[in-house]
Amino acid sequence: MQPLHVDTHVLAWLYQGERARFPEKAQQSLEAYRLSCSPMSILELDYLYEIGRLKVTGATIVRYLQERISLSVSSAVFAEIVSEAHKLTWTRDPFDRIIVATASLTSTPLLTKDTHLRTHYSRAVWD
């Protein structure tokens, strides 16, 4: 089974059981691929927890998904991710830059609803 990186909101929605938020193609991708995320998504989930948008930490969400759906966390070398991120000058968002760079480093698709990411990362998928 091939890997599919997932964006931060995908992790949150999977944790919350909000499968209805995903269009049919995205749901098919969730079933057809081995899901992976960037460590940066865990940090972004923590930010959302700290501002009250989530009720649990990023580590709690990822641990839950690792146990339930065998989610993996990328073990790519951070220096290589940052080197890849230097090329992504189309965004100033450090979370987006590192998440896309993590997927790009291995030419892996990224499941995201974010239209900005889908416009600029050719391997991004949603609908």
Per-block mean pLDDT, blocks of 10 residues, the chain (127 long): 95 97 96 96 98 98 97 96 97 97 96 97 95
Length of the chain as a residue count? 127
* CB-side neighbour CA atoms (13 Å) of 3: 17
What's the CATH number where 45 sits? Answer: 3.40.50.1010
Nearest to 111 by CA among 1, 2, 5: 5
At 1 the pLDDT is 78
pLDDT of residue 127: 86
Residue 81's pLDDT is 97
- Residue 117, classed as helix, strand or coil, is helix
Do residues 26 and 111 lie in contact, with contact meaning Cβ atoms separated by under 8 Å? yes
Backbone phi, then psi, for 119, in 5-degree steps?
Answer: -70, -35
The model's pTM is 0.95
Which residue range is the domain that position 25 belongs to? 3-125
pLDDT at residue 83, as a whole number: 97
Cβ-Cβ contacts under 8 Å for 84 (sequence gap 6 or more): 101, 102, 104, 105
C-alpha–C-alpha distance, residues 23 and 38, integer Å: 22
Query: pLDDT at position 125, please?
Result: 96
Number of domains present in the structure of the chain: 1
